[in-house]
Amino acid sequence: MNGPHSFRLDDYAFSFPESLIAAAPPAERDEARLLVLNRKTGESRHERFAELAGHLRAGDCLVLNRSRVLSARLIGRKTTGGKVDLLLLREVEPGTWTALSTDLKAGVDVLFPDGVRAEAAPGTDGWTLRFSTADVLGLLSRHGLAPLPPYILKRRKALSAAGAPGPCDPAADRERYQTVYAREAGSIAAPTAGLHFTPPLLAALKERGVRVAEVVLHVGRGTFMPVTAPDIREHAMPAERFELPPASAEAVERTREEGGRVVAVGTSATRVLESAGDAPLRALADGGMHSTDLFILPGHRFRWVDVLITNFHQPTSTPLILASAFAGRERILAAYR
């Protein structure tokens, strides 16, 4: 421990059986289990996500991240025939992208469907790929795969090796690894807390008098990049792009003025709001894109978020540390147990 808060990475580590990792989502989005944790008392309850409306009330404001996930995982072949598994990170300029892969070497040509080629070169952020087409987004829409987290892919592989039937429908993955309200493409991982919402559930919340505000944060490498520094304060969070629409800033500020609660759906929506710091939200709501490298640590004073809806997170990850900052490390880990 470091004073009242722990900044030791090891204090955010825990183990769990890999059998608890779901290889596929439930048949219906809102059938997912919901653990409700009171961060003041530590009391917890087990419910279903479909029961969320019972925890929100008229005058609350639900903040959603409407970023859409790119089909950013792309499979190619080397000219020698070897497989290349890529995760495209961001477009540097038309036809040039940064990417992550363990299958590349400098100067290697990679062959993709539709006759597209790319040359790989080492970059400051993994690899730089120069494609033979400027329409890489079109290539992804036709042949890209949902960028599922490695732990899900690993679980599927283990099930397959054991002879168990597993999900292997790329179209289904692309549909389910996307929120129902996603609109603006740019994320390379889903803002997963929102995956459990359905149109009927959102309609029920609005009918109950809950405001809905939307923000955009394009989830990038920063959200899932592992923390390796023994002291988490030394972790450098790569910046991610976000937008706070003026109408959303107004809705959140009005909610606060009227005594309602701001309910952030996910760590990404939380980071958009908390990036304002002590300034009015409207200071960020100029209709343009901004960037944030905010890494929320224990001891952070939450200015804008009263309720957090978030998924269970991997050990020592930045989302787990954010959730611990919000509800307390010991309470979060006790709830996980």
pLDDT tens profile 287-320? 899 999 999 999 999 999 999 999 999 999 999 9
Could you tell me the residue range of the domain that residue 84 belongs to?
73-143
In a shared domain, residues 288 and 317: yes
pLDDT of residue 123: 87
pLDDT of residue 3: 52
Decide: helix, strand or coil at residue 217: strand
User: What average pLDDT score do residues 105-124 get?
Assistant: 94
In a shared domain, residues 135 and 271: no
In a shared domain, residues 246 and 133: no
Q: How far apart are CA 35 and CA 322, in angstroms?
A: 17
Domain membership of residue 27 (yes or no) is yes
In a shared domain, residues 248 and 295: yes
pLDDT of residue 166: 66
CB 252 within 8 A of CB 304: yes
In a shared domain, residues 232 and 286: yes
Predicted TM-score (pTM) above 0.85: yes
pLDDT of residue 222: 83
User: What average pLDDT score do residues 200-224 get?
Assistant: 95
What angle do the packed helices 329-336 and 318-327 form, to 10 degrees? Answer: 110
Q: How far apart are CA 147 and CA 129, in angstroms?
A: 18
pLDDT of residue 162: 86
Most confident of 2-6, 39-43, 192-196: 192-196
DSSP-H helix ranges across 6-108:
none
Q: Give the pLDDT band (50/70/90) at residue 169.
A: confident
pLDDT of residue 66: 99
97, 127, 132, 128: which is closest to 117 by C-alpha? 132
Q: Which helix H or strand E contains 323, and what residues bound it?
A: helix 318-327
In a shared domain, residues 193 and 330: yes
In a shared domain, residues 57 and 102: no
In a shared domain, residues 52 and 188: yes
User: What average pLDDT score do residues 227-252 get?
Assistant: 97
User: What average pLDDT score do residues 72-94 get?
Assistant: 95
User: Phi and psi at residue 167, in whole multiples of 5°?
Assistant: -70, 135
Beta strand extents in the chain (DSSP E only): 33-37, 44-48, 61-65, 67-69, 73-78, 83-93, 96-100, 109-111, 117-123, 126-131, 184-187, 211-217, 240-243, 262-265, 290-292, 307-309
User: What average pLDDT score do residues 228-256 get?
Assistant: 97
* Domains contained in the chain, number: 2
In a shared domain, residues 237 and 180: yes
